Structures are given as structure tokens and as C-alpha cells.
């Protein structure tokens, strides 16, 4: 049992726990991670892409890919979720240099928030200016059906924590980043324009994140609907917060893989999620490609 005799001892212990526990990632570690990636490729990506459950096939469209398994990258967290391959892919897509995560890690896998969001920190260090995040979600909005795509324009963080808790690294961003336009409004409009051109049905909605891994109860879904949520999932929000912290513009598209709990009498299961994502994969690939084609002529696309 530890006995503190002075206030100084308590403060010192808190500082050590904070620095070693909450903020495991620091610029020195990120430099080591970045160096390991740069030894494999000279491509300097302008856009980072996060591929959610069942969407690893989007990576097949990347040209001249350099594929790096997560286990080959220092400090990079390994994914354990079904449907997430666990590979970093760097190459060209529609004329834009990109880095894509073929699988993400989740808070429910037991990782700390700094580990969940490490890839975004590295993206920022690589010079990425735009983040395109995808995910699988449960449809809360009764106007959504499995297989529908939704451009996320705002979120509700119901995970009970925040990836920015702990000492702030001023090199990466401000202590109190603004989240008014966490999802870039110009990108939301661009996604809608691309969807119209590609004849893809694209809704616009608010995403609420729970920690998981248990699915939400019908009562929780009724609460989320009252709060203004259209979609529910277990990811994305931490990454978007960190991207905003680093000044990275965000576009995000969610695939409604199933009805949320209580919308129907059916129980939820993960295979339903994977099936829903597979159904929407073709449309999502077209949407991402169209977005990048439009972006390639903008400053963000050119870097």
C-alpha cells in the first residue's frame, strides 16, 4: 500500500500516471512509427481513408499499392474485429496519393483511446490533409434501410470518454479544439453532388457512438432518437475528434448495415453487419472514387 507523506508526492504520482498511462503516444514514438512506414514507400499521401467493417474490398481499387501489415509497424494497434484485415495500404486512387487502413481498432477491443486514434496522428504527421472515414451502423432513422449510405454531418459522443483527455501536445493541436464543423460542410455538399452524379442514394445524418461491444438496447435506441441521432455505431467519433485536433478536414460515410435494436423484432448479430456492408460496397467505392476525382483539382487533393 502506497502512503503519501507530502502533496508533492501525490502530484508527482498523478503526473507519472498521466504521462505513462493516458498519453502513451508522444512525438518521439510517432516519429519511430512514421519512419518505419517511410522506409517502405516514398509516396506522400494527401488523403487518409478508414475502411470499416466488411469494406476492405475498397482497398482493391488502389493502384500500385504498398501493403504493410499492422504488425510490421511499431506501436500500431492490431485489429481483432471480424471483417478488419489489419493492413495499411499506400498508393494512388483516382490520381490522388492516399493511405488506407484496411481495418480499424475499436475502444471495445481493450485499447486506450490514444491507441485507437494513433493512425490519425500518424496520418497528420505524414501530411494528410483530408480524412475519409467509413463505418457500419445501425439505422435509427426510420427512413433508412439496410444497404443505405449516409453522409455524416455531425455526431454525438456517448462513449463516456474523449481521446484528447490528458496532457495536450501543442505540436499536434490546441487544448480545446472547436467541433462546430467536425465534418467539413463543403465535403458533405461534395459527397451529395457526387452521389447525385453517380445515381447513388445518399442520406445525411447524425451518428451516435457507444463503446460496445454489446449492441444497444431498444431503450437506448429510443433515447438516441430523442437526442437527434440517425445512426448508431461503435467507432469513428474518436478518430474524427483527433483529426479535428490536428486540423485535418473530415468526410465520413456510414453504411446502414442493419436496423437498430427495437426498430424490428429481430435480434442483432454481426453477420448481418457484414452482409449489409457487402451489399453497399459497390456504391461506396463509386462514392469514394468520385469524391477523390473532384478533390484532385482542389488544394486539399493536391496537398
Strand partners, 256: 137
Look up 245 and say whether it is catalytic. no
- The active-site residue out of 157, 235, 244, 283 is 235
- The active-site residue out of 229, 234, 243, 261 is 234
- The active-site residue out of 137, 141, 157, 258 is 258
Look up 53 and say whether it is catalytic. yes
What are all long-range contacts of 261-266, with beta carbons under 8 Å and residues at least 24 apart?
A: 261/138, 261/215, 261/216, 261/217, 261/218, 261/220, 261/221, 262/217, 262/218, 262/219, 262/221, 262/222, 263/139, 263/140, 263/142, 263/221
Look up 219 and say whether it is catalytic. no
- The active-site residue out of 30, 100, 101, 109 is 109
- The active-site residue out of 169, 179, 220, 270 is 270
- The active-site residue out of 101, 126, 136, 243 is 136
Look up 270 and say whether it is catalytic. yes
- The active-site residue out of 23, 26, 108, 181 is 108
- The active-site residue out of 30, 46, 53, 261 is 53
Look up 136 and say whether it is catalytic. yes
Look up 258 and say whether it is catalytic. yes
Look up 8 and say whether it is catalytic. no
Look up 281 and say whether it is catalytic. no
- The active-site residue out of 30, 81, 84, 115 is 84
Name the residues annotated as catalytic: 53, 84, 106, 108-109, 136, 234-235, 258, 270
Amino acid at each position: 500500500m502506497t502512503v503519501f507523506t507530502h502533496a508533492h508526492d501525490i502530484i508527482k504520482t498523478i503526473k507519472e500516471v498521466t504521462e505513462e498511462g493516458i498519453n502513451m503516444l508522444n512525438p518521439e514514438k510517432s516519429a519511430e512509427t512514421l519512419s518505419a512506414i517511410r522506409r517502405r514507400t516514398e509516396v506522400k499521401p494527401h488523403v487518409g481513408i478508414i475502411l470499416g467493417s466488411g469494406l476492405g474490398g475498397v482497398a482493391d481499387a488502389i493502384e500500385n499499392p504498398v501493403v504493410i501489415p499492422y504488425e510490421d509497424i511499431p506501436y500500431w494497434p492490431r485489429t481483432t474485429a471480424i471483417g478488419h484485415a489489419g493492413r495499411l495500404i499506400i498508393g494512388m486512387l483516382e490520381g490522388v496519393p492516399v493511405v488506407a487502413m484496411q481495418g480499424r481498432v475499436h475502444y471495445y477491443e481493450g485499447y486506450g483511446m490514444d491507441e485507437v486514434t494513433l493512425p490519425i496522428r500518424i496520418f497528420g504527421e505524414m501530411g494528410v490533409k483530408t480524412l475519409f472515414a467509413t463505418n457500419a451502423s445501425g439505422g435509427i432513422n426510420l427512413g433508412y434501410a439496410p444497404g443505405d449510405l449516409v453522409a455524416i454531418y455531425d455526431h454525438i459522443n456517448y462513449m463516456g470518454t474523449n481521446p484528447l483527455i490528458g496532457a495536450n501536445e501543442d505540436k499536434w493541436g490546441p487544448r480545446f479544439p472547436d467541433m462546430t464543423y467536425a465534418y467539413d460542410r463543403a465535403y458533405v455538399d461534395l459527397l451529395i453532388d457526387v452521389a447525385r452524379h453517380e445515381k447513388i442514394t445518399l442520406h445525411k445524418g447524425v451518428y451516435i457512438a457507444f463503446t460496445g461491444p454489446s449492441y444497444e438496447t431498444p431503450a437506448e435506441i429510443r433515447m438516441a432518437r430523442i437526442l437527434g441521432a440517425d445512426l448508431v455505431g461503435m467507432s469513428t467519433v474518436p478518430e474524427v475528434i483527433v483529426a479535428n485536433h490536428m486540423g485535418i478536414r473530415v468526410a465520413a460515410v456510414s453504411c446502414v448495415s442493419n436496423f437498430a435494436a427495437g426498430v424490428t423484432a429481430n435480434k442483432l448479430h454481426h453477420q448481418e453487419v457484414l452482409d449489409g456492408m457487402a451489399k453497399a460496397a459497390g456504391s461506396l467505392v463509386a462514392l469514394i472514387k468520385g469524391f477523390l476525382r473532384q478533390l484532385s483539382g482542389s488544394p486539399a487533393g493536391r496537398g
